[in-house]
């Protein structure tokens, strides 16, 4: 099969390699023929050369794993060891081995949701990040009357804004150093703050302090402290942005004095989460048209990842498609 392989930090090569054996699937696995994929912010540190905790990543220079790193996937089920996802079905979800930049990839069937054959890939791929967002917001409880702030208005941040407002938040504040005025209305952002989160957190007035902050930046420690600084007394912060370090320093004294609550976590019941995201997208069928801003062929994975790695006005979700 063909696959993109990361051979050095930030450098892909298109290779020919052995395809997964359909007869060697573990119970609960499914083998997909990849139709399309999308880049998540959690893929980008690995593109830059960071070691992965998902496998024994001890090769010099880069992982050199065919198809890595890409986990948001749409494809056709070629073989299945799960009767709930039959051969011939078209499915969307997580490629659990993060190897979706290849002709074929193996995933846990529990991480996939069957979709109609004629559903556009750009729409279907929106379900995976949307599943993460809707499940997180459901876990925050009743948002009625709450002032919610989202730090980071990238592909996840704008979805958080939309879902929080749809789930009853009184107002949604979006904070980003990138000007997102072109999409703020589409994603139901009531107040757009075109600023760094540290400046915003240090200059906010008490009556403007959010009850809930969703940190959707990740990959560094500073924005967590900014969230704690900005929250109202008794507020909550959900740390959604993927941490790159095992230990994060944060202002414990302030969390204690302000009686704050902090939470984080990953999505568990993924198939049902994808189904609920599908229900949400049916209510807002135009959402993906503004969400997906760039589409590249799989052979141009290099350009796609370089584009996704550079925050910019007009750039949200970057997808890759397999040419016929």
* Tens digits of residue pLDDT in 32-73: 999 999 999 999 999 999 988 878 888 888 889 999 999 999
Mean pLDDT of the chain: 95
> In the prediction, which pLDDT does 103 show?
98
Q: Kindly list the domain boundaries of the chain, sorted by start residue.
A: 2-125+288-321, 130-264
> In the prediction, which pLDDT does 324 show?
66
Q: Angle, nearest 10°, between helix axes 127-139 and 155-166?
A: 50
Query: Considering the entire predicted model, what is its pTM?
Result: 0.96
76 contacts 34 by C-beta, under 8 angstroms: no
Q: How far apart are CA 147 and CA 139, in angstroms?
A: 16
* Tens digits of residue pLDDT in 253-291: 999 999 999 999 888 899 999 999 999 999 999 999 999
Q: Does domain 2-125+288-321 have CATH number 3.90.180.10?
A: yes
Whether 2-125+288-321 shares its CATH topology with 130-264 is answered no
179 contacts 201 by C-beta, under 8 angstroms: no
* Tens digits of residue pLDDT in 94-118: 999 999 999 999 999 999 999 999 9
CATH of 130-264, one of 3.40.1410.10, 3.40.50.300, 3.40.50.800, 3.40.50.720: 3.40.50.720
* Tens digits of residue pLDDT in 295-308: 999 999 999 999 99
Could you tell me the two tokens for 244? 């790159």
């Amino acid at each position: 099969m063909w696959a993109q392989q990361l051979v050095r930090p930030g450098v892909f090569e298109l290779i020919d390699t052995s395809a997964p054996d359909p007869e060697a699937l573990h119970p609960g696995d499914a083998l997909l023929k990849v139709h399309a994929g999308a880049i998540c912010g959690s893929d980008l540190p690995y593109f830059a050369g960071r070691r992965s905790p998902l496998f024994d990543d001890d090769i010099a220079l880069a992982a050199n794993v065919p198809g890595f790193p890409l986990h948001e996937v749409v494809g056709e089920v070629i073989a299945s060891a799960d009767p709930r996802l039959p051969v011939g079905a078209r499915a969307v979800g997580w490629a659990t081995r993060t190897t979706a930049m290849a002709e074929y990839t193996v995933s846990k069937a529990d991480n996939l949701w069957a979709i109609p054959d004629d559903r556009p890939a750009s729409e279907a791929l929106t379900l995976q990040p949307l599943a993460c967002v809707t499940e997180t917001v459901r876990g925050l409880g009743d948002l009625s009357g709450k002032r919610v702030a989202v730090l980071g208005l990238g592909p996840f941040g704008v979805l958080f804004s939309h879902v929080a407002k749809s789930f009853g938040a009184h107002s949604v504040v979006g904070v980003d150093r990138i000007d997102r005025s072109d999409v703020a209305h589409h994603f139901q952002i009531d107040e757009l703050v075109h600023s760094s989160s540290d400046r915003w957190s240090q200059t906010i007035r008490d009556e403007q302090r959010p009850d809930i902050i969703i940190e959707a930046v990740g990959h560094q420690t500073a924005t967590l402290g900014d969230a704690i600084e900005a929250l109202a007394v008794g507020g909550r912060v959900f740390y959604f942005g993927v941490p790159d370090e095992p230990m994060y320093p944060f202002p414990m004294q302030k969390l204690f004095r302000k009686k704050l609550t902090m939470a984080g976590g990953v999505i568990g019941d993924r198939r049902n989460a994808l189904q609920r995201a599908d229900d949400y997208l049916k209510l807002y069928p135009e959402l993906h048209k503004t969400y997906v801003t760039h589409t590249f062929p799989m052979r141009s994975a290099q350009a796609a990842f370089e584009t996704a790695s550079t925050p910019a006005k007009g750039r949200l979700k970057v997808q890759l498609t397999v040419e016929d």
